[in-house]
Amino acid sequence: MTASKAESITPIESLESQLVTRLSNTLESYLDAPHIAQCLRAYEFGASAHKGQFRKSGEPYICHPIAVAISLAEIRMDADGITAAILHDVVEDTQISKQEIAMQFNDEVAELVDGVTKLSKIENQSHAQAQAENVRKMFLAMAKDLRVIIVKLADRLHNMETLGVMQPPKKRRIAKETLDIYAPIANRLGMNSIRHKLERLSFEAMYPYRYAVLNHAIKKARGNRRKIIDTIENTIRARLEQASFPCEVVGREKNIYSIYKKMVKKKIPLADVFDVYAFRIYCDDVDGCYRILGMMHNLYKPVPGRFKDYIALPKENGYQSLHSVLIGPYGVPIEVQIRTHEMHRMSESGIAAHWLYKSETDTDKTRNFQALANEWLKDLLEIQKSAGDSLEFIDNLKVDLFPQEVFVFTPNGSIIKLPRGSTIVDFAYAVHTDLGNACVSARIDKQLIPLQTQLESGVTVEIITAEHARPNPLWLNYVVTARARTAIRNRLKHIEEKEALGLGRRLLENELLALNVQLADIDEERIATLLKMMGLKSFDKLLEDIGLGNKMPLLVAKQLTQADVNTHVKLDDDSSKSQNRPLMIKGTEGMVVTLAKCCRPIPGDAIIGFFNPGKGIVVHQHDCHNHALIKKKNNSWLDVAWGDDAKGDFQTEIRIQILNQRGSLATVAATISNLDSNIENVTVVDQDARICTDSIILTAQNRVHLAQIMRRLKELSIVLKITRVKG
């Protein structure tokens, strides 16, 4: 009987004492006297701290933590875990501090309580940000001690069971958070029993009318199905008894929330969901599971492609079972799950099995569950270190909490598990971060394929790397794992900082050169004074800010060379432009020098640069339509020129009028390709029965190369007019 049921039949004035008695009786079944005394002392301490506090339903507040402690005692949680459960709201809701709990009990209990305690409210934070910060804090505490999440899940479960007194908007908000975060965490830790309860209670709170209608329909349908279920169950039992195979056969009913999700996802009525009859078969060992599977496939025909072996390839949360869909009597589909008794206990309790079964069964499985949980938490810790803020961390967390796995192989035969929809890039980062950062292509079963290819189970993936390769920002559009997404962002940020640092140094040296000063000759004390005045921690940070366009290099140069470095320098229109040689553009500067897409400059064009704060320098053609407008609006511009060593494939745009006849565009494309150029994009601008005007973005090495391409295209009889687009 759950704590909520006990409350419903007990008068409020005697509820507290009855809950304490029930807790004591449960603890006596597995704890020794000193540990029981510690738990009861925690109750007295908590009752005193919460004195005068009441829940919205009217009962003393201490009843809630006692109910949480009872549910943990039922899974045989240790004494410190029970103590922390009783005290889990003391720091948050009373004047008691973490230090006082450590003095009264021990440091371990204090850390557990602190892990479950929400952060104090921070001003100017949205509710979503505050919740995200609290979840992030909880995961950091989980990494130190898994009992934190066990206590939190028990706390959330009791809150959901007693949600009835809340206002509907708050009910829905709490229920949504439970479905988004806590139910998936319970699933990720293999605690299916708690997950199903949280899902059912959340569904009821969010959609009370849908829940009531669906629940009534399920109960009504259940009576009509009973005869078929009994027939199938008896047939399965008879077949197993005939083979002298002692097993337990149970007709399984789908969780109401799972039924609802399936109806919504597949847009089907209840009758189509409820026509699958589900059964579980429990046996003593793994060998027996496979033998029973053979008997079931012999008894009823299996449906092709509907068999899953989670024993050989367990789920991420450690879940193990054989799943098969068969065609039963009357043509009805039957879903059979076959597992050992131990696998079933683990599937219900997950990580909590560490406490529940450690004295009764072999602990190898529970240790395996803990290892899986710790590995997951380790990955999350890496992600949270690189996450920009708590909301980004929550987004990454949700990716990991809703996996549908695929299993792929490395060339040496190792199995890598990934969420469904994962790409080659996800696979590379799952193997190793350095492999992901350096990947340029891949082979699936020895066939070359693009990096955005989605993986399917059973394939062998070989990653091809290059020494100077680096992540492409476009990868963020198709990777699905939090690990890959975080690693790409982290690497790109590092590359941008490195490139900004180099560009900032070049810009500052250019400006100092115009003032007849070498950067190496500037006194370190003068630099330190300027950094202090600007509130920067290092000279590298100043150079980085210059490279990103956050600080003007001429202003910094003048501050470093004037008599008093603290004097404010103002740039007028005449002095804002550098008086020395222009900054040379090579075209390989990376992320901090961008070629404007409005005019697409290429080597040989007269160019000018603009500082775009936070992004670096944007290079335009001198006669770009946007040039005058940008120059008029701000004076953050500088002279730039193409370096003699500028090389590469630069994108440029041409507009071409051709005869609208079959094969015209193919002829144009072939001509461009024969001149060592590549078409990046083609857009039809205008078209009639006779003439078609196309905009083509292609690559050119410089103006000479582009002139060759345009001259060759003009020679084609189908080309009527060709111009270059400059903004």
What residues are annotated to the active site? 92-93
> Can you tell me the distance from the alpha carbon of 69 to that of 605, in angstroms, rounded to the nearest whole number?
74
Contact 16/62 with Cβ under 8 angstroms? yes
Residue with tokens 């009962």, as numbered in its chain: 59
At 542, the amino acid letter reads: L
* Residue in 316, 440, 328 with CA at minimum distance from that of residue 377: 316
Spell out the residues 6+ positions from residue 565 whose beta carbon is closer than 8 angstroms to its own. 526, 529, 530, 533, 559
**Which of 77, 119, 112 is closest to 98 using CA atoms?**
112
Question: What span, in angstroms and rounded, lies between the C-alpha atoms of 183 and 178?
Answer: 6
- Bridge partners, residue 683, by sequence: 695
DSSP state of 182: I
Nearest CA to 56 out of 171, 153, 220 is that of: 171
Q: How far is 354 from 343, CA to CA, in rounded Å?
A: 13
SS3 category, 282: strand
In this structure, which long-range contacts are made by residues 378-382, counting pairs with CB atoms below 8 Å and at least 24 apart in sequence? 378/143, 379/482, 379/483, 380/139, 380/143, 380/482, 381/139, 381/140, 381/143, 382/483, 382/486
Q: Supply 19's token pair.
A: 């809950």
Nearest to 419 by CA among 478, 480, 376, 372: 480
- Around 156, how many Cα atoms within 13 Å sit in the side-chain half-sphere? 30
Distance CA(624)–CA(647), nearest Å, equals: 22
Query: Per this entry, what is the length of the chain?
Result: 727
Could you give the maximum distance between any two Cα atoms of the chain, in Å?
102
Pairing of strands 322-327, 637-642: unpaired
Q: CB count, 10 Å around CB of 58?
A: 9
The helix (run of H) or strand (run of E) holding residue 338 is: strand 333-340
Q: Which residues contact 138 (CB under 8 A, 6 or more apart)?
A: 115, 116, 148, 149, 152
**What one-character-per-residue DSSP string does 56-123 give?**
TTSSBTTHHHHHHHHHHHTTT--HHHHHHHHTTTHHHHSS--HHHHHHHS-HHHHHHHHHHSPPPP-T
287: helix, coil or strand?
Answer: helix
H or E stretch at 334: strand 333-340
Q: How many CA atoms lie within 13 A of 272 on its CB side?
A: 10
Could you count the other beta carbons within 10 Å of the beta carbon of residue 190?
Answer: 26
The tokens describing 232, both together, are 């199938």
Best CA proximity match to 693, nearest among 720, 663, 727, 653: 720
Residue pair 512/556 in contact by the 8 Å Cβ criterion: no
Q: Detail the DSSP E strand segments found in 361-520.
A: 405-409, 415-419, 439-444, 447-449, 461-465
Q: Which residues of 26-44 are buried (b: 16+ CB within 10 A; e: fewer)?
A: bbeeebeeebbebbbebbe
